[in-house]
Structure 1
Amino acid sequence: MAPLKHVERENPIIDASFRDFCASHGIQTVEDFLLHDLYELAAFAERQRNADRLKEGITFMLSLIELQCRPWLNGMELLEDLHRNKHTLSTGDKGIDSLLQGGFREGQVTELVGPSSSGKTQFCMQAAASVAEKYSARVLYLDTGNSFSARRIAQFICSSSDAALRQKVLSRISCQMVYDVYTMFDMLHGLEVTLRSQAQMNVNEDRLQLLVVDSISSLITPILGGSGSQGRALMVAVGYMLKKLAHEHNIAILVTNHTVGAGEGGRTKPALGETWKSIPHVRLMLTRDHRNNNCTISILKHTSMPAGHTVTTMTREDNTHCL
């Protein structure tokens, strides 16, 4: 989440004195502010010499957070927004596109769940190549495990025989390494500021249309230990920011998640628990038969179709082809 120092650019009431006061209570970011007991904070502010200014700063922070909340929309407005602004983007695989009734939906968070070595990263890179090539769109790929490979993405570009066009497609895909959830907050906040500025200037050329986070569970799992609620609060905040970016800027967001054991019988389930379950609009399960490299994708959750539908496709690590 944004450090309080960034907020000062928008309103000088959040000055060094206010930030020092917040820091003395362990508050460094907007996220910390949300997690803190605001009644207690206001009580401490009352005891300071500059109490009025500190309380004014607390009030401003609350109003700023309120402004960031999405306005109420009725069903007709949501439907019109869906048809006008929320298009579908091909995943790069005809079978999966058919399963998803066209592919990824802009404005939604799609989660791909699967065990290790099931092909999640390959799916992400194929999707990045597809969107950058077919829609001349920008793609932002947040890599949490050093798994991004420009060479592999180049193999997914169907026009890869044309070196100039291949380079142009690759130039539309940006990769950023992210190793902890706090860096993730900063990056998402910076992205939101950039997108808001572009929207105000009506910049539509090479618009960002796909954001990939591979993998979201690698960032969140380390903060969920123990019985405290802070880790879960941070997880929900990440989910909220992703959904907000998707909806307000018409971006399709793809995140990957690993699986954990679900008890006897060798069954597995998506990691991150029930709290995270409500975050993605679409949840897909990816499994691989290593005997023949066939991959099966099943719908666990979808906003416009029932769960249980599946498709099987071939995704060989050593034999990439355009579908």
Structure 2
Amino acid sequence: MAPLKSLEKEYPVIDSNFQSFCARHGIFTVQDFLLHDLYVLAAFAQQHPSSSSDHLKQGITQMLSIVDEQYHKPWVNGVQLLDDFQRNKHVLSTGIHEIDSLLQGGFREGQLNEIAGPSSSGKTQVCLQVAASVATKCIGSVVYVDTGNSFSSQRIRHFVSRISGPTFNQERDLTIQKVMSGILCHSVFDIFAMFDVLHQLQSSLRSQVDRADQNVRLLVVDSLSSLITPILGGGGSQGHALMTYTGFLLKKLANEHNLAVLVTNHMVGGDGGHLKPALGESWKSIPHVRLLLSRDLQSNICNISILKHSYLASGKAGRFTLDD
């Protein structure tokens, strides 16, 4: 992350006075600033004489704008899209035939994928099935960030048994043990705890020995919206900046380390009472792939459709049955 001093030339309000003020609160980089409680920081700024206080608050506002400018940049042109497609050729099967067929193979490494859907639509079950499929069929591991105590080792075991097919008990147990050891689950309950996990993962991926069986192939965050929605309330700028930074960090992990990222999102009321994915207009441009999941009433039949895809047409849909 850029040190504050490097911003001074382009943004004069980030001057030595503002930098000194931030340093007194342990803020030396853009990331330090973003992870600080800005309400507390603004309160400290308010304690300064009027002219100095106004200047410090202008600096805080400018820093939030910088976060948006730096971490919310869409693809610029088709050449970059083509380059991204060509560099990330591996596709990870979801373990659900109908979804793989819809997506021409599954989730592409190097991309951020989102599944949005109402409560009880099957989002978590799909995440668990994808994690089991990747850990069983691929050489590598899965990092699973659980934000609502919904991770189920029993469901993973069930899916692995189904994937493995008819085998002797001892062989099946060895497969299950190997798969379970390759799924690393972290329970987090606020966005800052998730940042800690993601930064640790980033550090680990950069320093790990180059062995295929140590490579992370899939990162799951179920549910991302449950962490972000609480910080978007109140109309403040920090929540939006944190959401933008989250998207940047997830896409950076996917791109730099060629892993697939899968996040889930809930639904909220939209115009005319129609449901729409949460997190607003700013978020919807961030994922490479957005899928909408729904479930027939009192049934295990699910409907899934493409809301957005980097190279497939929106509106394509499929149906599948959730595994019992």
Write the letter of the residue equivalent to 1:244.
K
Kindly provide the CA deviation profile for residues 199-238 of structure 1, in whole angstroms up to 9, marking residues without a partner as x.
xx43333310000000000100010011211100000001
Q: Any idea what SS the aligned residue of 2:207 has?
A: helix
Structure 2: gaps of 5 or more residues:
5-18, 49-65
How many Å separate the matches in 2 of 1:283 and 1:306? 12
- Aligned match for 2:307, one of 277, 282, 300: 300
1:292–1:127 Cα change, 3 Å: same
How many Å separate the matches in 2 of 1:228 and 1:110? 27
Aligned-CA RMSD value: 3.2
Match of 1:206 in 2: 214
- Aligned match for 1:148, one of 143, 148, 151: 151
- Aligned match for 1:257, one of 254, 260, 265: 265
Check conservation: 2:289, 2:309, Cα contact below 8 A. yes
Write the letter of the residue equivalent to 1:90.
S
1:82–1:204 Cα change, 3 Å: farther
Displacement of 1:188 after TM fit? 1.1
Displacement of 1:83 after TM fit? 3.7
How many Å separate the matches in 2 of 1:269 and 1:286? 11
Displacement of 1:251 after TM fit? 0.7
How many Å separate the matches in 2 of 1:133 and 1:309? 28
How many Å separate the matches in 2 of 1:77 and 1:277? 19
How many Å separate the matches in 1 of 2:253 and 2:270? 32
Match of 1:236 in 2: 244
Structure 1: gaps of 5 or more residues:
5-18, 45-61
Structure 1 residue 194 and structure 2 residue 204: aligned?
yes
Write the letter of the residue equivalent to 2:143.
L
Write the letter of the residue equivalent to 2:128.
M
Q: How many pairs align?
A: 272
Match of 1:27 in 2: 27
Match of 1:159 in 2: 164
Write the letter of the residue equivalent to 1:275.
S
Check conservation: 1:136, 1:169, Cα contact below 8 A. no
Match of 1:269 in 2: 276
Structure 1 residue 310 and structure 2 residue 317: aligned?
yes
Give the structure-2-normalised TM-score: 0.75
Write the letter of the residue equivalent to 1:159.
S
Write the letter of the residue equivalent to 1:94.
H
Match of 2:293 in 1: 286
Check conservation: 2:142, 2:217, Cα contact below 8 A. yes
Q: Write the mapping of 1:29-178 to structure 2, written as runs, cut at 5 A.
A: 30-33=30-33, 79=82, 82-157=85-160, 158-159=163-164, 162-178=172-188
Displacement of 1:262 after TM fit? 1.0
Kindly provide the CA deviation profile for residues 136-163 of structure 1, in whole angstroms up to 9, marking residues without a partner as x.
3200000000000000111111227511
Identify the structure with the greater helix proportion: 2
Q: Which stretch shifts more, 126-135 or 201-210?
A: 201-210
Write the letter of the residue equivalent to 1:288.
R
Displacement of 1:197 after TM fit? 1.1
Match of 1:9 in 2: none
Check conservation: 1:86, 1:250, Cα contact below 8 A. no
Check conservation: 1:90, 1:127, Cα contact below 8 A. yes
Write the letter of the residue equivalent to 1:210.
L
How many Å separate the matches in 2 of 1:69 and 1:259? 22
